[in-house]
């Protein structure tokens, strides 16, 4: 089977333990960013399609892993991302209130 997509670091090892051969390529920084962005869309689609809470949570964990990886490639650790998230939550709020802005009137 041909996949042509970014995979987690241990996937080649898991494939080879199953008796198959994994053909892999190490991406350049630019190729990696592009592939990780494509993988984000794949994971978002899987989250949207998740019917059960436990499946949705698992897909959210995959999204977090990609976000941390992309943060690192852009020079930001998970701690820096969390600090920025908290700062925005303090100044602009979070999304817990489920507010849906319909319109702003003059």
Q: What predicted TM-score, i.e. pTM, was given to this entire model?
A: 0.88
Exposure of 67 by Cβ count < 10 A (0-12 exposed, 13-18 middle, 19+ buried)?
A: middle
User: Which parts of the chain register pLDDT below 70?
Assistant: none
Residue pLDDT, tens place only, 64-87: 999 999 999 999 999 999 999 999
**Domain positions in the chain:** 11-92
Residue that the structure tokens 């303090």 belong to: 90
Q: What is the DSSP string of 42-65?
A: HHHHHHHH--SHHHHHHHHHHHHH
Maximal C-alpha separation, the chain: 67
- The whole-number pLDDT of residue 19 equals 97
């Amino acid at each position: 089977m041909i996949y042509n997509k970014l995979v987690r670091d241990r996937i080649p090892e898991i494939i080879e333990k199953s008796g198959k051969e994994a053909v892999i390529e190490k991406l350049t920084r630019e190729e990696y960013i592009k592939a990780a962005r494509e993988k984000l869309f794949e994971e978002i689609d899987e989250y949207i399609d998740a019917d059960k809470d436990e499946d949705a949570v698992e897909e959210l964990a995959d999204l977090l892993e990609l976000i941390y990886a992309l943060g690192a490639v852009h020079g930001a650790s998970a701690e820096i991302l969390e600090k920025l998230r908290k700062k925005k939550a303090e100044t602009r709020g979070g999304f817990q209130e489920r507010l849906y802005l319909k319109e702003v009137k003059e």
